[in-house]
Structure 1
Amino acid sequence: MAQTSIITGQYVCIHQTAATVVQRVIAWLIDMVFLYIAGLLVSLGLMPFVFALEQETFAIVATTLLTLALLSYPLLMEVFNHGQSVGKYLVGIKVAALDGSTPSIGAYLLRWLLLIVDWGFMGVGLALIVFTKNSQRLGDLAAGTTVVKLPKQTRSINTYDLYFANNHYTPTYPEAALLSLRQFNVIARTLLTQNEARAINIARLAEKTEQVLGVSNTKGNAELFLLTIYNDFQYYASRVV
């Protein structure tokens, strides 16, 4: 499987695995089944209008609505569902920018416009996914995006980790209050993520967090340090609210 190296806004390299051709094809097939079922339901919903309109007019209206839904589905789902269609969600993959951020609407639009080339000209998109470094079809190459596997989050930050909720909790790093919400989310996501690069990502993020906040890791353990920063941030945030 191709590995994509993603640089976060805090300049920490986090490795993610590109979705395989099989995963993307399965996601596409699921989407087709979903659209077929949705089309049947829409057709049934339009049945009461059959007698109100001429048969030819009804056929034109129904065909137009179904065609618009089919064409706009990939774009609308990815824009409004964080880079995931129904198929991608069920398979556990999503569209992401190469720098790890959420693609812009323009990027989603560009990769959507090139769908006709990717899937309509002798499998150009399929070939590119197989042979490009980051498993990108033409639309991805043009938009600066790729499709990645979502990491399995088998570990969760449980309530016993949330020491900040204790009235007797004393924060260790007051500087944690200076973190932005985006930086905090990177820490939370890194702690939750379970993959082969987890230990490396945590160590790098801990080092970067020390630099950003101007503090030293007094815990002796990168994960414990980040968890302490996590709780300290929550502590100060809860006091503001």
Structure 2
Amino acid sequence: MSESNIITGQYVRISQTPAGLGSRIVATIIDIFVIFFYLEGLSLLLGITKIDIGLLGMFLLFYLPTIFYSFLFEVFNNGRSPGKMIMKTRVVKKDGSTPGLGEYFMRWLLQLVDIGFGFIGILVIVTTKNSQRLGDLAAGTMVIQVNNYRKIQVSLDEFTYLERNYRPVYAAAERLTLNQVDVIRRTVDSDYGDERERRIETLSTKIHSMFDIPNDGIPHEKFLYTLMRDYQHYALELV
């Protein structure tokens, strides 16, 4: 499962893993059972008490909670329905922040398409990078695994050597992940003895190939340092 990494305006690095298709399906099944037992229990209670709740009561107690089940739980329970709580998943915005009422409503509004035409929802989830259904794509949200959610304060020292008018050399640096940058940093900063130069050259060659960066003759170590500097420039543009 891919990992989504963001650096926020408060210089906090957020690492979050999209929930898998299996977790989302199981959470949905659990929620269906919760709705079923709620309706059955309420019907049994009204049958025993013989209370006539009328059409308005039927709408308020039966139809409204069933129709707005996921929307209400996500709004008032931090993006979690009972199914999501059990599966340890949660709805967040793509930048890691908490969705607003509009985002939750958009997810709910498109739920009919995603779940009513199940194959569409499943197809979109398995083909999008962050395992998003149509409602997520429209709302700018995603469902994450809560136990893989991490917030790390970024040291501003990482950015002190960047000049205000710095212009990045390699546009491909914007596509690097935090994990890849960490590998580059550890490679150039660590002391591998006689192996260091070979490791740097190997990593440089691999990155040139992976990101289709033309070899302009720059020394391998300088290339890696430049790539990190470019990455940090792009990261700061997002905050």
Question: Are the structure 2 counterparts of residues 209 and 115 from structure 1 closer, same or farther at C-alpha, using a change threshold of 3 Å?
Answer: farther
Contact 1:78 1:85 in 2 (8 A): yes
Q: Which has the higher contact order (CA 8 A, sep 6+)?
A: 2
Superposition deviation, residue 84 in structure 1: 0.2
Match of 1:75 in 2: 71
- Residue number in structure 2 paired with 1:31: 31
Counterparts in 2 of 1:51 and 1:31: CA distance versus 1, 3 Å: closer
- Say if 1:135 and 1:51 are closer, same or farther in 2 by CA, change over 3 A: closer
Q: 1:87/1:51 Cα in 2 relative to 1: closer, same or farther (>3 Å)?
A: closer
CA–CA distance in structure 2, aligned partners of residues 132 and 210 of structure 1: 32
Gaps of 5+ in 2: 161-239
Backbone CA RMSD of aligned residues = 2.7
Matched ranges for 1:40-59 at <5 A: 40-48=40-48, 50=50, 52=52
Give the partner amino acid of 1:21.
L
- Name the structure 1 match of 2:93: 97
Counterpart Cα distance in 1 of 2:19 and 2:69? 20
Distance (Å, rounded) in 2 between the aligned partners of 1:103 and 1:127? 24
Residue 5 of structure 2: SS of its match in structure 1?
A: strand
Q: How many residues align?
A: 160
Give distance in 2, aligned partners of 1:79 and 1:114. 16
The structural deviation recorded for 1:48 is 4.9
Identity of aligned residues (%): 42
Q: Tell me if the contact between 2:74 and 2:80 (Cα under 8 Å) persists in the aligned partners.
A: yes
TM-score (norm 2): 0.59
Write the letter of the residue equivalent to 2:5.
S
| Alignment map for 1:83-122 (pairs within 5 Å) | 83-122=79-118
The answer to whether the Cα contact below 8 Å between 2:11 and 2:154 also exists between their aligned partners in 1 is no
Matched, 1:133 2:137: no
Contact 1:12 1:208 (8 Å CA) reproduced: no
**Secondary structure, in 3 states, of the residue corresponding to 2:91?**
strand
TM-score normalised by the chain length of structure 1? 0.59
Contact 2:75 2:101 in 1 (8 A): yes
Structure 1 unaligned residues grouped into runs of 5+: 154-188, 191-200, 213-241
SS in 2 for 1:84: coil
Secondary structure (helix, strand or coil) at the match of 2:4 reads strand
